[in-house]
């Protein structure tokens, strides 16, 4: 009987100890998890998380102590009456008690060691991050010594202020000191980004990042922008040169005097070299490359021809911009300013042997994209931005409102800094003068002086959207003499120039490449992997233009422009990237301008297709500036027009025939009119009541899907599906209003829209590639052939394997729903469960331990074709987006201090500083900060001192 009782007691005790240990292990795991979160919080300096996890960690420790004491008290067995057996009354129990006691002592010791180790790790990280933060955060208050000798007015040195919203305010007595201080302040915030950008363009990334930057360096060395930058520097107008030199001196002044550099320099173990004017111009080249359009479309058309398609079929797959769609300039009575011959389409026709041979070399261009802030390797590059200006006839103030949101690829550190620049010749710098020589606020482009988007001292305001101009042409060369020359149409042979480039690679041997240079530009087959076996030479405006390039100078002039004529003249020598610029001033005048150099091509060639490089289709000049699209409406003229407003959302600039120069040189309007149509509709819906600044904000944040509303009937025409789950979503989308946020319908529609793009996949790449970059073109094509079939009963060749185009869109809907249900079990909610905007660091996004510190994400509304755009990446099952508004601006011309702006992340490029992401929550929730030049509250004040 005693043995049975002891067995029962032992079993009970062992079960209790097992439960106790289980609780102990769970508690330990919870503490470990909290500790790790705490460490991450320390690294990112998120004080709220630090406090929370610190409290949780402390509670876990106390709970562990409590559990240990509880387990100690439970080691002694009890009898049936609940009384403890006397210690030592049984040899077996004594041995058992000692074993349990030993195990508990070991567990206690291990837990204490564990807690101690974690505490040491946390303390180490705390000290480390504190030191790094101190070493990487620049001086924001006080005096900067040793730089007054570089100023033109050392006795009245400029001041740099940062207000409570972290907007930078720079005040100086003259332009030289203004740009010097601007360069200094920008270097304080973004020195690593600026250094990375110039290294990118000059092909010197691998020198600091190793083999990860080698392909990028090979690409940029092939383009040979170093020589182009030398030419551009030599051709600068004198005022622009002086401003650039002062800005460069300011950057170098910071590098000469600072002891604080961001963590990237520590980790990569290098210090930046002094900057030059050419380095500043390199940033403009980078922006131009990423925003100029057509190159990928040109590759695609060439690929289709190599696949055996004829020219008519290629044109079907790339439908033109609809003649009925809105244009920015909508007048029909423009005088024809010039005439261009365009009787037929010109292109290179591959031979049957080339078609049969297939591509010469396959490669992955994605390694180039990693380093680009907005990838020209994707059609997303031209889907960038909205801007509009509403005449005072429709507003509550009687003067215009101007709105601009610039859409670009989103990264952890964006392309803009919020700045206010002021020249006060009195030298008082007290902010009380009635008028300043310069008083401008807005977005400054990182790595360049002046304000690129904003308003100036005269109340003139402006905003930009990208044109996507075709300034890149590919020429197919016929080689001779074993590849040392190429042949022109008159049989003349022209020798290549062979250029040797030595690329420094960190922790590796130098990489040597030899580049073939033709009169058209470098041969790009070995770096861009274009279609076909024959060599392709690339001519790009940014690398080949030899005239006066005063692109930066145009925006410097904007600091003082006071009327539309001065505005138009300011951009006379602007080269690129071509932009749609809207304008407003206090007189009530609104306007539009499309500046940028566009090539004039011989032989009636328009740049759509690759052509033979035999002298037939050479560039013979550039479109005259005064033949570019422009318009203005004074307040008096606005009363006599139906639409006293101007809207640009990357749509076609003017009706065909109004400005033949752009008809011939900007043929690839790859962006559809969904966004511009939505904005126009919202303006018309609200015009009966006076439009307010709040209306402008609502328009800018709008997430209604115009593409869904326009093609909703396609889904409504579906017959019921036999699968009840699929049919549920058919009925749901038939009733959906197209609002893209916090609902599941958006997820289904976006997946369906993507799958529609697969229709032409076989013609492009034999079903081996159907990337997101083909979606918008394919959607235009798919909807066209669908409606054509409904109207004519003629089925497109790509639809025939599905029976009809109607069957294709129906099958893609079913496929989309089943994919979502198969992967997620239920359709996930857009903007909550899926679809976040990611802000990745170009170096650390894939580095464990650093990605959590350097990268951010935020769940967002909006979708592919909404005004508040948030284009999802299709290589991400969670529909993450890395594209959207990189800057938002709303300007009240009547009451300029009521104006608003915002960036998505923050001013600082220091990932350990709170200013790195302090705007993110506001940007996500559609909140702006004041665009103030008067009465702002100063947080930091600094001055240059002897």
Structure tokens at 486: 């190429």
Mean pLDDT along residues 262-286 = 93
Task: Grade residue 426 by pLDDT with cuts at 50, 70 and 90.
Answer: confident
pLDDT tens, residue by residue, 155-180: 899 999 999 999 999 999 999 999 99
CA 598, CA 293: separation in Å to the nearest integer?
Answer: 12
CA angle 179, 140, 907 (to 5 degrees): 70
Residue 249 or 123, more confident? 249
Q: Label the pairing between strands 142-145 and 938-945.
A: parallel
Beta bridge partners of 580: 465
The residue among 80 and 867 whose pLDDT is bigger is: 867
Task: Please compute the mean of the pLDDT values over residues 484-507 and round it to a whole number.
Answer: 96
Q: How far is CA 397 from CA 388, 389, 407, 653, in A?
A: 17, 14, 28, 28
User: What's the pLDDT band for 376 if we cut at 50, 70, 90?
Assistant: very low
Res 880 pLDDT > 50: yes
Question: Which of 607, 606, 602 has its CA nearest to residue 618?
Answer: 602
In angstroms, rounded to a whole number, what is the distance separating the alpha carbons of residues 900 and 167? Answer: 12
Separation of CA 37 from chain center = 29
The residue among 868 and 48 whose pLDDT is bigger is: 868
In terms of Cα–Cα distance, which of 836, 877, 862 is closest to 751? Answer: 877
What confidence category does residue 20 fall into, taking pLDDT thresholds of 50, 70 and 90? very low
Q: How confident is the model at residue 26 (pLDDT cuts 50, 70, 90)?
A: low
Q: What was the pLDDT predicted at 336? A: 28
Beta carbons within 8 Å of 451's beta carbon, 6+ residues apart: 419, 421, 440, 441, 442, 443, 444, 555, 558, 559
What 3-state DSSP class applies to 408?
strand
Is 171 in contact with 942 (CB distance < 8 Å)?
A: no
Rounded to the nearest 10°, the torsion over CA 211, 213, 215, 221 is -120
Q: Rounded to whole angstroms, how far apart are CA atoms 93 and 247?
A: 84
**For the ranges 267-271, 307-311, 398-402, the one whose mean pLDDT is highest:** 398-402
Residue 333 has a pLDDT of 30
With bands split at pLDDT 50, 70 and 90, how would you rate the model's confidence at 363?
very low
CA atoms within 13 A on the CB side of 163: 17
Q: Averaged over 460-468, what is the pLDDT?
A: 94
In sequence order, what are the residues at sequence separation of 6 or more whose Cβ sits closer than 8 angstroms to the Cβ of residue 636?
none
pLDDT the model gives residue 384: 64
Q: How far is CA 285 from CA 291, 439, 448, 562, 574, in A?
A: 10, 27, 12, 29, 13
The whole-angstrom separation of Cα 730 and Cα 464 is 39
pLDDT for residue 108: 61
Largest alpha-carbon pair distance within the chain? 115
b/e code 257-274 from CB counts within 10 Å (16+ = b): eeebbbbbbeeeeeebee
Q: Which of 247, 406, 186 is nearest to 886 (CA)?
A: 406
Cβ-based burial of 519 (10 A; exposed 0-12, middle 13-18, buried ≥19): middle
Q: Are 356 and 435 in contact (CB under 8 A)?
A: no
Q: Check whether 850 has a pLDDT greater than 50.
A: yes
| Secondary structure, 3-state, 265-330 | HHHHCCCCCCCCHHHHHHHHHHHHHHHCCCHHHHHHHHHHHHCCCCHHHHHHHCCCCCCCCCCCCC
Residue 603's pLDDT is 81
Least confident range from 195-204, 287-296, 546-555, 799-808: namely: 287-296
Tell me the pLDDT band of 57, cut-offs 50, 70 and 90. Answer: low
User: Which pLDDT score is estimated for 357?
Assistant: 55
Comparison of pLDDT for 12 and 276, the residue scoring more: 276
**Shortest CA distance to 247 belongs to which of 450, 454, 455, 548?**
450
322 half-sphere exposure, CB direction, 13 A CA radius: 13
Let me know if 359 is exposed, middle or buried by CB neighbors in 10 A (0-12, 13-18, 19+): middle
Q: 405 - beta bridge partners?
A: 386, 888
Mean pLDDT of 436-444: 95
Answer for the pair 149, 927: CB distance below 8 angstroms, yes or no.
no
Q: Which of 132-146, 329-343, 356-370, 731-745 has the highest mean pLDDT?
A: 731-745
Reduce the DSSP state of residue 133 to 3 states and report it: helix
Q: How much is the pLDDT for 52?
A: 52
Give the separation between CA 732 and CA 641, rounded to whole angstroms. 42
Q: Supply the pLDDT for residue 80.
A: 56
* Phi, psi of 13, rounded to the nearest 5 degrees: -65, -45
Mean pLDDT of the chain: 84
Global pTM value: 0.86
The most confident of the ranges 296-300, 471-475, 760-764 is 471-475
Query: What is the four-CA torsion angle of 728, 731, 737, 739, rounded to 10 degrees?
Result: 20
Of 700, 847, 115, residue with least CA distance to 404: 700
Q: What is the dihedral of CA 857, 862, 866, 871, to 10 degrees?
A: 40
Q: What is the pLDDT of residue 578?
A: 93
**Residue 324 clears pLDDT 70, i.e. is over it:** yes
Six token digits for residue 779: 């959607």
Structure tokens at 370: 């990693």
Q: Are 61 and 54 in contact (CB under 8 A)?
A: no
Q: What is the mean pLDDT of residues 398-419?
A: 95
Q: Could you write out the DSSP letters of every residue in 187-253?
A: HHHHHHHHHHHHHHHHT-SHHHHGGGGHHHHHHHHHHTHHHHHHHHHHT--HHHHHHHHHHHHHHHH
């Amino acid at each position: 009987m005693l043995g049975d009782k002891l067995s029962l007691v032992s079993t009970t005790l062992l079960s209790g100890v097992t439960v106790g240990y289980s609780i102990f292990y769970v508690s330990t795991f919870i503490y470990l998890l909290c500790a790790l979160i705490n460490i991450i919080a320390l690294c990112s300096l998120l004080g709220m998380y630090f406090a929370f996890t610190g409290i949780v960690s402390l509670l876990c420790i106390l709970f562990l102590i409590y559990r240990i004491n509880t387990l100690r008290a439970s080691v002694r067995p009890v009898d049936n009456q609940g009384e403890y057996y006397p210690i030592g009354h049984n040899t077996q129990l004594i041995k058992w008690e000692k074993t349990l006691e030993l195990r508990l002592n070991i567990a206690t010791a291990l837990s204490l060691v564990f807690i101690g180790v974690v505490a040491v790790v946390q303390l180490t990280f705390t000290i480390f991050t504190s030191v790094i933060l101190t070493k990487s955060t620049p001086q924001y208050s006080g005096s900067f010594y040793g730089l007054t000798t570089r100023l033109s007015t050392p006795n009245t040195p400029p001041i740099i202020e940062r207000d409570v919203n972290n907007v930078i305010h720079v005040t100086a007595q003259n332009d030289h000191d203004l740009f010097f201080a601007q360069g200094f302040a920008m270097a304080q915030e973004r020195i690593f980004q600026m250094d990375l950008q110039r290294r990118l363009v000059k092909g010197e990334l691998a020198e600091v990042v190793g083999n990860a930057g080698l392909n990028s360096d090979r690409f940029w060395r092939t383009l040979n922008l170093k020589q182009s930058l030398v030419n551009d520097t030599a051709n600068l107008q004198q005022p622009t040169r002086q401003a650039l030199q002062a800005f460069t001196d300011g950057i170098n002044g910071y590098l000469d005097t600072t002891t604080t550099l961001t963590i990237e320099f520590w980790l990569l173990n290098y210090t930046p070299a002094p900057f030059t004017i050419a380095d500043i111009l390199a940033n403009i080249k980078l922006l131009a490359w990423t925003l100029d359009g057509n190159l990928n479309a040109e590759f695609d058309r060439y690929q289709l021809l190599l696949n055996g398609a004829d020219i008519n079929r290629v044109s079907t797959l790339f439908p033109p911009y609809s003649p009925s769609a809105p244009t920015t300039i909508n007048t029909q009575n423009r005088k024809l300013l010039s005439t261009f011959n365009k009787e037929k389409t010109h292109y290179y026709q591959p031979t049957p042997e080339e078609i049969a041979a297939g591509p010469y070399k396959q490669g992955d261009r994605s390694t180039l994209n990693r380093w680009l802030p907005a990838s020209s390797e994707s059609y997303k590059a031209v889907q960038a931005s909205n801007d509009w200006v509403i005449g005072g006839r429709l507003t509550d103030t009687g003067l215009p409102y101007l709105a601009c949101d610039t859409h670009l690829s989103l990264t952890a550190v964006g392309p803009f800094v919020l700045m206010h620049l002021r020249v006060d010749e009195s030298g008082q710098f007290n902010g009380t003068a009635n008028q300043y020589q310069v008083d401008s606020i807005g977005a400054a482009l990182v790595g360049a002086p002046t304000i690129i988007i904003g308003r100036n001292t005269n109340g003139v305001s402006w905003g930009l959207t990208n044109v996507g101009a075709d300034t890149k042409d590919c020429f197919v060369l016929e080689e001779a003499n074993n590849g040392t020359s190429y042949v022109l149409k008159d049989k003349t042979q022209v020798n290549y120039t062979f250029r040797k480039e030595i690329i420094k690679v960190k922790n590796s041997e130098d990489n040597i490449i030899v580049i073939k240079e033709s009169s058209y530009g470098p041969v790009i087959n070995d770096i861009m992997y274009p279609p076909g076996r024959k060599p392709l030479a690339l001519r790009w405006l940014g690398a080949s233009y030899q005239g006066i390039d005063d692109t930066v100078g145009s925006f410097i002039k904007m600091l003082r422009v006071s009327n539309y004529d001065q505005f138009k003249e300011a951009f006379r020598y602007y080269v690129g990237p071509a932009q749609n610029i809207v304008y407003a001033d206090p007189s009530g005048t609104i306007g539009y301008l499309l500046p940028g150099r566009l090539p004039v091509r011989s032989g009636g060639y328009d740049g759509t297709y690759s052509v033979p490089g035999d002298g037939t289709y050479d560039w013979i000049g550039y479109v005259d500036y005064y033949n570019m699209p422009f318009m203005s409406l004074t307040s008096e003229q606005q009363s006599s027009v139906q639409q006293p407003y101007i809207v640009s959302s990357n749509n076609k600039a003017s009706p065909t025939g109004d400005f033949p120069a752009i008809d011939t040189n900007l043929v690839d309007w790859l962006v559809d009119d969904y966004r511009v149509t939505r904005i126009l509709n919202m303006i018309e819906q609200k015009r009966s009541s006076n439009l307010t600044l709040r209306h402008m904000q609502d328009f800018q944040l709008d997430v209604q899907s115009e593409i869904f509303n326009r093609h909703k009937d396609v889904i409504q025409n579906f017959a019921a599906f036999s699968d009840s789950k699929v049919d549920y979503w058919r009925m749901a989308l038939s009733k959906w209003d197209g609002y893209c946020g916090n609902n599941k319908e958006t997820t289904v529609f976006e997946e369906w829209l993507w799958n529609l793009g697969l229709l032409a996949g076989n013609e492009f790449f034999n079903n081996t590639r159907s990337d997101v970059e083909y979606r918008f073109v394919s959607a235009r094509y798919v909807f066209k052939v669908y409606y054509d079939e409904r109207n004519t009963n003629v089925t497109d060749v790509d639809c025939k394997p599905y029976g009809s185009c109607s069957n294709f869109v129906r099958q893609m809907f079913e496929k989309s729903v089943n994919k979502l249900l198969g992967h997620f079990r239920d359709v996930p909610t857009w903007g909550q469960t899926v679809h976040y905007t990611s802000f990745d660091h170009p170096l650390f996004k894939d580095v464990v331990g650093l990605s959590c510190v350097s990268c951010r994400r935020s769940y967002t509304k909006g979708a592919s074709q909404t005004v508040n755009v948030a284009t999802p990446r299709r290589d991400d099952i969670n529909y993450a987006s890395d594209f959207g508004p990189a800057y938002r601006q709303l300007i009240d011309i009547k009451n300029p201090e009521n104006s608003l702006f915002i960036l998505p992340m923050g001013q600082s490029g220091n990932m350990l500083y709170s200013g790195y992401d302090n705007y993110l929550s506001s940007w996500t929730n559609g909140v702006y900060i004041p665009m103030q030049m008067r009465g702002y509250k100063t947080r930091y004040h600094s001055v240059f001192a002897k």
